[in-house]
Structure 1
């Protein structure tokens, strides 16, 4: 299912700790938020060309894209091999990595349980956009 959302350029600026956070023990020096971060401005470079889609399935887990994630998709980016794209192949919607080898085009999963899909010469392939980011919840909804 494709969710097309109108996103304002500025929605809800959140507190942001400048710098990085170690994945080990917290530092007492990182107790104060230094500025604010607008997630829309951070994740969406071209709002007029961007849509959001909820990911279904586990075929892209090796790329860090999980079932239920929200994928930020930019239609203005020219898709190139290596990009994760939202594609329609013969009427079927898919989120896969675009690949080209030996003059042939493939849509590849990032999970070894799913083989690459070769785009045949007679196939109809449309790329809807390039995935630029995902939003992954760690806490269940």
Structure 2
């Protein structure tokens, strides 16, 4: 199901800066004011933590988030790029529907995503959930 929402070219450029250059730790994407385009809302610096990302999630609005997640596995530090479709239960229904129907478009545009998480509340966006998904 496609919503017809376009991807702002800056969306992919910013993602590539995270993926290839590690210029950011996290990118938040949102719909434009007229709901016709997915745009970069903000980025978090490479020194930002997982907790910084979670704290920046809006409580009653949807977002797409790309996070360079660092975790421990078999005594080694590893990284995976995680895509989060954040649609909290408190977000307006129309907004949740638009984000859900547009997810495939942005996912196809952001080549190299390794893990995807659908979160509707903070318990689904915890370190435990990220660790479990990344270690699969």
Per the normalisation by structure 2, the TM-score is 0.27
Specify which structure has the higher proportion of helix.
2
Looking at secondary structure, tell me which structure has more strand per residue: 1
